[in-house]
Amino acid sequence: MEHPEKNKDNQPTTHHISSYKEHFGTLVTLLLLTFVTVVVSVFGANLATLSVATALLIATVKVVVVAYYFMHLKYDLKLYSWLVLLVIVLFVAFTVLTAIEYINR
Amino acid sequence: MYMTTLVANTNFFQGKKGLFSWIFSVDHKRIGLLYLYSLMTFFIVGVTLGLLMRYELLNPGKDLVEAKTYNQLFTLHGVIMIFLFIIPSIPAVFGNFFLPIMLGTDDVSFPRLNLLSWWIYILGAIMALSTLVYGDGPADTGWTFYAPYSVRTGTNVSMAVLAAFVLGFSSILTGLNFIVTIHRLRTPGMSFLKMPLFAWALYATSWIQVLATPIIGITLLMIAAERMLGVGLFDPSIGGDPILYQHLFWIYSHPAVYIMALPAFGIISEILPTFTQRTIFGYKAIAFSSLAIAFVGYFIWGHHMFTSGMSGTARFIFSMLTFLVAIPTAIKVFNWVATLYKGSINVQPPLLYALAFIFQFMIGGFTGLILGALATDIHLHDTHFVVGHFHYVMFGGTGFAFFGALHYWYPKIWGKMYNVKVANVAFTIFFIGFNMLYFPMLIVGLMGMPRRYYDYLPEFHLPNMISTYGSWVLATGLLLMLGNLISGFYTSKRKIGRNPWNGITLEWQTTSPPPLQNFDRMPVLPKNGPYDYENKPSIKE
Amino acid sequence: MEHHTGFVLPNSGHNRDAEASKLGMWLFLFTELLLFGGLFIVYMVYRYMNHDAFLMSSFELSPVMGTINTIVLLVSSMTIAMSITAIQKGNTKTAIKLMSLTVFLAFVFLVIKYFEWSAKIHHGLFPGMEHYTNLPKGEALFFFLYFFMTGLHAFHIIIGVIFIGVVISKTKKGLLTSDNYSLNENAGLYWHLVDLIWIYLFPLFYLIH
Amino acid sequence: MRTSASTFAEGVDFSLYVITGISVFFLIGITVVMVYFVFRYSKKRNPVPTNIEGSNTLEVLWTVIPVLLVMVMFYFGWMGYKPLLKAPDDAIVIDAYGQMWKFSFEYPDGRLTDSLVVPFGKPVKINLHSRDVLHSFFIPAFRMKEDMVPGKNNFLWFEATQEGRFDILCAEYCGQLHSYMLSSVTVLSEADYLHWLANVPNISDEHPGLSLLKQNACLTCHSQDGSKIIGPSFKGIFGRTEIVETDGLEREILIDEEYIARSIKQPNADIVQGYMKGLMVSYETVLSDDQIAEITDYLKKLK
Ligand code: HEA
Ligand code: HEA
Ligand code: CUA
Ligand SMILES: [Cu+2]
């Protein structure tokens, strides 16, 4: 949990510059995933709830990609990734606890 | 870029003068005091409403007001006390004033955001109080705004929930500012594990403020939307569910009770070492238990809904987790008591408040355990036992810690001193009045008197009467205490040095009151942790 | 200022600290995520309780429009990310162009949204309207949530546009440069958040058939 | 503490004693130690403090012991509560309705009452319903309560262990007259209960319209003697003219059959001057047209 010592002119400690190519690659990945989602949901309609689960799963993958590359988590201090994880854990706990109540009614 | 160059011999009261230099100041100390003055104003309004309620409950039947007015009274009392007084109280006043000083820096990370959060707070307060004078009257729903009643009643619920929404933003901004400040601005050499425990407590609190408040924001917004658009979002006739509202409300509002409690724990952890002149017992245990409380506190909201018809599984889980949250609190209490062991104890008003805190918070906590157990909560839910419980933790706990802090840091903030003898007398009256007011509520709750009752059955009369008399004793004590503090401004002759209590944290190394830049010389950290009295740096005037 | 004592506090809240503003931004994003999180919980519970009605209603929405908007937002996310690369490399002009492109895409998103909404409102599906009030159990909830969540999301888009607008003008004035770009980064983070939320809104409302 | 008059009460009281016992022990113990330390180590008696940083043994001890103790508390709380989860199959089933601000009960044979009568020593299951907002069905002597939630089927069951009459209170805030939402449960010996079921007449010879008004709790808001409670009085209502607000516009109307029916079905369409919107809920799904006609007929007679 030690915080990074700032260097003397108070610039961000993380200097990584992502390349344009990396950003473009990220976009292509995201578009592909979107395509898969649409295909699964529109054409896999008979899978019913399963298609929702898949769609959400893919959405989660997309979110991770956006956060990791576009939002620079990959190159930032580990602290940020841990905090994002904390928020996700909390949200999942809220939904799971609420769901337990409704499913067992 | 610029660095902070310090100016000697001017304290933060000097320098710019006039109202505007205060309400537009970005100095954390002035903002802290702005909060103090506004907060005390709302507190007086809130307690006055409380006194009126107690007067109404003196005898069965009507004593003072109509049923509807009574309902509006307790709603406004709850809203003011929760959102305007106790949630901001310690963080916004003492956190703002002392956190940067204790960390050895000159301000919070975002000074302007800090000022903004005070303005938002005032805006929210005006919105909340505006219902008194305009529209269809203050809400009459209880501070919980339970649907569907809150959607149906003709009183001005929309304004009240929007006010709470706005106040949430103020709370979030304070929390955000503190987290960043703690991460970025600790003085060199102060690692996380060398931070004062008050900073630790605020750190844990801030995480709750940031991560829980948005949920209630959106929920209250839904209530407002529902009323304005005339749709029944929580209405079963269109497929909604009133219980869902309760879940969302308590997902925030249970963690919120630790927003109220954790900073108070921090205060106690500061007062005890100072007045025992020894290091705190179990520093790490106290520091980490704050984080544990904050974390576990997120998962136990269901204990407010044990009688709402939740599934057995959910009741089982929520009840069990509720008991777990008592453990870190227990750890704190034991460590505090152990800190008294072999100290050199100087009994002064702040210490009295701290001891009363421990005693009353225990009563509050233990009644909390009784409520957390399923069988007993089925009987006690929504009775005056609950009212007794939360006044014990909120007023007997946080309220007492707040006043303890006020007595503790008074000489530092103003460079003056109140009359200690009068303070001790006021404390005694306050303490007796408090217990006389709230203990009977526990009894009458066990007897089965529901809360939010304008009128009650004759068998509940005696405890209610004692309770109302207690409220008058309490009021006497409070008035005496406030009077004593205020007259200290005018009558104090003694010039207060840097360190009247012989404290060890950094705020005692600077002048009283502190200069605008907080320090007139470089603060020195004790060698082994913040409470290392054996290697206490000597402080020259 | 007045007379100096000649010593300086090492860490000051008045210093420019890029890491601090980034941390602050992330914390703010967390609050936004949980704000929508609350709505997602509402969505989850009501979908569970009114399963068929939610299915029925989602047919009213056009997956084509939804997909186009998803693509628009993803591309805009890339352009803003690239604009940060540009400013880091000192290519101020490119950065401004990329940010303007982001703003343009945001408008495209809003225009499409506008047409979608007007079609729904035309059918009287907006909460409080005649047809809405007579909807069967559950469907009214779906449309309330649809308007509330996409509306709140659109509101964030507008805020984001303003934010990026401010950054563009500051960059133009030369206030933000290759060694002072934390505001650019923060605008980027905010914009990605808007994208993140849409990534979930899209399947939940448009694709659940 | 009140009398305990149900099998459930024993479980509640027992867990209460367990938790209170442990709590009082700790409360007194800790307070005594604290006060003792303050005297023993006061500045006068102990001028030089000793710095003790902590003790891992103690930390473990005072983590583990409370964990065990709270688990004991949890266990008794759960065991005391568990019987409530499932009602015995042979329980007598009674439906209870809550509405602003009245309880009413429906027996299996269709008998309607506004207070509860149950046999001694027999399991009774109460299905809880609400017609408007949240209420809570609370019998302190039985130590039980459960909320009445619109749109949700909650229940509660008990076996009375004492004959007599006990209070029923509403324990969930439900508006203006929340504290007057009272009723009672009378526990009769089985023979008396059967006698009550068979002989005490259910429907009295009062006007059917009046019975409907009573059953639906109209009279908690509307008086029959001209006094103003929550809503306008029913006295002389038929044929009177008054000012109402419709969609924000004021207009004068004459109260006739049609207006009364509309007031019952869509109470918020016309708001009588001086009264509040949103208090009265629609009875469209509760009262049939025939029943509304009965009510109207009765109201006509209330001069
Ligand atoms: C400052 C605020 C605060 C705090 C800190 C707490 C702390 C706790 N609260 Fe409280 N509570 C409220 C404020 C607070 N509460 C409010 C406002 C309400 C009502 C809201 C409303 O409906 O309007 C409420 C309501 C409430 C309920 C719902 C009651 C109902 O409506 O039916 C419950 C039920 O479980 C509960 C439980 C607890 C528990 C278990 C703790 C625990 O954290 C307590 C832990 C502390 C201790 C246990 C004491 C110290 C420990 C020792 C001395 C060591 C020895 C310990 C052991 C051997 C275990 N609280
Ligand atoms: C920090 C929080 C806090 C504090 C400090 C208090 C303080 C008090 N509260 Fe509090 N109370 C709540 C938070 C708080 N309350 C909440 C959240 C609720 C739930 C609301 C709901 O149900 O929705 C509640 C509900 C509540 C009820 C239950 C209502 C019901 O269910 O029917 C009662 C009843 O007696 C009560 C009484 C009091 C009293 C007498 C005080 C006393 O502290 C007041 C003591 C008074 C003084 C110390 C006065 C000193 C006087 C002056 C300084 C000036 C006086 C001037 C004039 C009279 C002109 N409160
Ligand atoms: Cu019904 Cu309170
Ligand atoms: Cu709680």
Q: Which pLDDT score is estimated for B178?
A: 95
- pLDDT, position B6: 46
Question: Hey, whose CA ends up nearest to atom 1 of ligand 3?
Answer: D135
Kindly state whether residues D114 and D187 are assigned to the same domain: yes
Nearest alpha carbon, ligand 1 atom 5: B261
Q: What is the pLDDT of residues B491-539, one digit of tens each?
A: 877 778 888 898 999 999 988 889 888 888 888 888 888 998 888 888 7
**Contact by Cβ (8 Å): B280, B273:** yes
pLDDT at residue B401 in the model: 96
Residue D97 has φ and ψ, to the nearest 5°, of: -120, 135
Count of all residues that appear for chain A in the document: 105
- The pair phi, psi for residue D124, each rounded to 5°, is -125, 130
Q: Over 70: is that where the pLDDT of C5 sits?
A: no
Q: What is the dihedral of CA D37, D41, D44, D47, to 10 degrees?
A: -160
Q: Which residues, at least 6 apart from D107, have a Cβ–Cβ distance to it below 8 Å?
A: D94, D113, D197
Q: Which of B180, B215, B519 sits opposite C9 (nearest CB)?
A: B519
Size of chain B, expressed as the number of residues it contains = 541
Q: Is the pLDDT of residue A4 over 50?
A: no
pLDDT the model gives residue D205: 58
- Report the residue from B211, B215, B314 with minimal CB separation from A101: B314
A4 domain residue, yes or no:
no
D175/B153 Cβ within 8 A: yes
Predicted confidence (pLDDT) at residue A55 exceeds the cutoff of 50: yes
- pLDDT for the residue numbered D1: 52
Q: Average pLDDT in the B444-467 region?
A: 92
- Measure A96 CA to nearest chain B CA, in Å: 10
Average pLDDT score over residue span B13-27: 81
Phi-psi category of C38—alpha, beta or left, where left has phi over 0 and alpha has psi -120 to 50? alpha
Tell me the average pLDDT across D105-124: 87
For chain A, the C-alpha Rg in angstroms (whole number) is 19
Question: Which pTM was predicted?
Answer: 0.90
pLDDT band at D202 (very low <50, low <70, confident <90, very high): low
Residues A32, A62: Cα–Cα separation, whole Å? 10
Q: What pLDDT, on the 0 to 100 scale, is given for residue A44?
A: 62
Of B267-276, C76-85, C178-187, the one with minimum mean pLDDT is C178-187
- Per-window interface: B 199-218 vs A, CB < 8 A: 211, 215
Q: What is the pLDDT of residue B61?
A: 82
The per-residue pLDDT of chain C, averaged, comes to 86
CB B340 within 8 A of CB B272: yes
Q: Tell me if A58 is assigned to some domain.
A: yes
Least confident of A81-85, B489-493, C47-51, C142-146: B489-493
Look at residue C27 and tell me whether its pLDDT is greater than 60: yes
Top-confidence residue, D53 or D34 = D34
Q: Which residue has the higher pLDDT, C84 or D284?
A: C84
In total, how many domains does chain A have? 1
Tokens in use for C86? 């540009």
CATH number at residue D251: 1.10.760.10
Q: How large is the greatest C-alpha to C-alpha distance in chain A, in angstroms?
A: 61
pLDDT at D100: 84
From D63's Cα to the closest Cα of chain B, the distance in A is 6
pLDDT of residue B25: 87
Model pLDDT for residues D64-87, shown as the tens digit of each residue: 999 999 999 999 999 999 998 888
For the residues B13-24, what does the mean pLDDT come to? 79
The confidence band for D38, taking pLDDT boundaries of 50, 70 and 90, is very high
Percentage with pLDDT > 90 across chain B: 70
Q: Say if residue A46's pLDDT is above 90.
A: no
pLDDT of C4 above 60: no
CA gap B369, B383 in Å, rounded: 15
Report pLDDT digits (tens) over D259-299.
888 888 888 788 888 787 767 877 877 788 888 888 888 88
Q: Starting at the earlier edge strand, list the strands of the sheet with D116-119.
A: D116-119, D182-188, D164-170, D135-139, D144-148
Q: What is the CATH number of domain C2-206?
A: 1.20.120.80
The two structure tokens encoding residue B106: 């000159």
In this structure, of B303-317, B430-444, B510-524, the range with the lowest mean pLDDT score is B510-524
The answer to whether position A10 is within a domain reads: no
Q: Which ligand is nearest to the CA of B262?
A: 1
Query: Can you list the domains of chain B with their CATH numbers?
Result: 28-535 (1.20.210.10)
Quote the ligand 4 centre to B299 CA distance (angstroms): 10
Query: Residue C204 has what pLDDT?
Result: 86
Q: Evaluate whether residue D122 is within a structural domain.
A: yes
**Count helices and strands in chain B by DSSP H and E runs:** 18, 1
> Residue D224 phi/psi, 5° resolution?
-105, 0
Lowest mean pLDDT among A24-28, B471-475, C40-44: A24-28
3-state SS of A64-104 is HHHHHHHCCCCCCCHHHHHHHHHHHHHHHHHHHHHHHHHHC
> Are B121 and B35 within 8 A, CB to CB?
yes
Q: How many domains does chain D have?
A: 3
Confidence of residue B474 (pLDDT cuts 50, 70, 90): very high
Q: Where are the alpha helices (DSSP H) in B277-311?
A: 283-296
* Between C9 and B173, residue with greater pLDDT: B173
Whether omega before D101 lies within 30 degrees of 0, making that bond cis, reads: yes
Nearest CA to ligand 1 atom 60: B368
The pLDDT score that the predictor gives to residue A6 is 43
Q: What is the pLDDT of residues B115-141, one digit of tens each?
A: 999 999 999 999 999 888 877 788 889
- Greater confidence, C204 or A48? C204
Angle between helix C92-122 and helix C63-89 axes, rounded to 10 deg: 160
For B311-322, what is the mean pLDDT? 92
CA–CA gap between residue B379 and residue B533 (Å, rounded) = 50
Interface touch C14/B106, C-beta < 8 Å:
yes
What pLDDT is stored for residue D210 in this prediction? 83
Give ipTM to 2 decimals. Answer: 0.88
Tell whether D23 is covered by a domain.
yes
Determine the Cα–Cα distance for residues B58 and D145; give it in Å rounded to an integer. Answer: 26
Helix/strand/coil percent split, chain B, to 5:
70, 0, 30
Q: For residue B220, give every residue at least 6 positions away whose Cβ sits within 8 Å of its Cβ, in sequence order, or none.
A: B145, B161, B162, B164, B165, B168
- Domain final residue pick, D50, D85, D120: D85
Please compute the mean of the pLDDT values over residues B266-281 and round it to a whole number: 94
- For ligand 1, is residue B442 a contact (CB within 6 Å)? no
Report how far residue B467's alpha carbon sits from residue B460's, in angstroms, rounded to the nearest whole number: 11
List the one residue out of C110, C183, C142 whose CA is nearest residue C45. Answer: C142
Residues sharing a CB contact under 8 Å with residue D20, sequence separation 6 or more, in sequence order: B366, B370
C6 confidence band (pLDDT: 50, 70, 90): low
Q: Which residues does residue D113 pair with via DSSP β-bridges, in sequence order?
A: D105
Which one of D35, D69, D85 terminates a domain?
Answer: D85
Report yes or no: B106 and B518 within 8 Å, Cβ to Cβ. yes
Task: Report the CATH number that the domain containing residue D184 is assigned in CATH.
Answer: 2.60.40.420
> Quick count: other Cβ atoms within 10 Å of Cβ D247?
8
- The residue of chain D with its CA nearest to that of B358 is D31
Looking at residues B55-75, what average pLDDT do you find? 88
Q: With bands split at pLDDT 50, 70 and 90, how would you rate the model's confidence at D237?
A: confident
Instruction: Look at residues B385, B402, B414 and name the one whose alpha carbon lies nearest to residue B265.
Output: B402
Interface contact C39, partner B, CB < 8 A? yes
Q: Provide the domain limits for residue D241.
A: 207-301
Nearest residue to B508 via CA among B490, B496, B493, B492: B496
Q: Is B397 in the pocket of ligand 1 (CB under 6 A)?
A: yes
What is the mean predicted confidence (pLDDT) over B295-322? Answer: 92
Instruction: State whether D66 and D141 are in the same domain.
Output: no
Q: Nearest CB to B183: which of A3, A87, A105? A: A3
Residues B357-397: tens digit of each pLDDT: 999 999 999 999 999 999 999 999 999 999 999 999 999 99
pLDDT at C3: 40
Long-range contacts (CB closer than 8 Å, 24 or more residues apart) made by B350-353: B350/B271, B350/B274, B350/B275, B350/B404, B350/B405, B350/B407, B350/B408, B350/B501, B351/B271, B351/B272, B351/B275, B352/B404, B352/B424, B352/B427, B353/B271, B353/B400, B353/B401, B353/B403, B353/B404, B353/B407, B353/B427
Q: Do residues B485 and B422 lie in contact, with contact meaning Cβ atoms separated by under 8 Å?
A: no
Atom of ligand 3 nearest to the CA of D173: 2
pLDDT mean over D238-266: 84
Mean local confidence (pLDDT), D177-188? 91
In the A/B pair of chains, how many CB contacts fall below 8 A?
40
How high is the pLDDT of residue B436? Answer: 95
Confidence at C209, pLDDT banded by 50, 70, 90? low
- Give the pLDDT band (50/70/90) at residue B3: very low
- Residue A77 structure tokens: 């201090």
| pLDDT confidence of residue A3 | 40
Q: Is residue C191 predicted with pLDDT exceeding 70?
A: yes
Task: Say if residue D36's pLDDT is above 50.
Answer: yes
Range B34-39 average pLDDT: 94
Q: How many CB atoms lie within 10 A of CB B71?
A: 26
Beta-strand ranges (E) seen in chain D are 92-99, 102-106, 112-113, 116-119, 123-130, 135-139, 144-148, 154-159, 164-170, 182-188, 241-246, 249-254, 270-272
How far, in Å, CA of B468 to CA of B210, rounded? 38
What end-to-end distance do the CA atoms of chain A give, in Å? 42
Domain extent for A36: 20-103
Average pLDDT over residues D117-125: 92
Q: Is D248's pLDDT higher than 80?
A: no
Q: Whose CA is nearest to atom 10 of ligand 1?
A: B368
Whether residue A8 has pLDDT greater than 60: no
Quick one: tokens of D150? 């619109």
Q: At CA B80, angle to CA B321 and CA B160, rounded to 5?
A: 95
Q: Give pLDDT, residue D258.
A: 86
Boundary residue ending a domain (D85, D103, D130): D85
Q: How far apart are the first and last CA of chain D?
A: 48
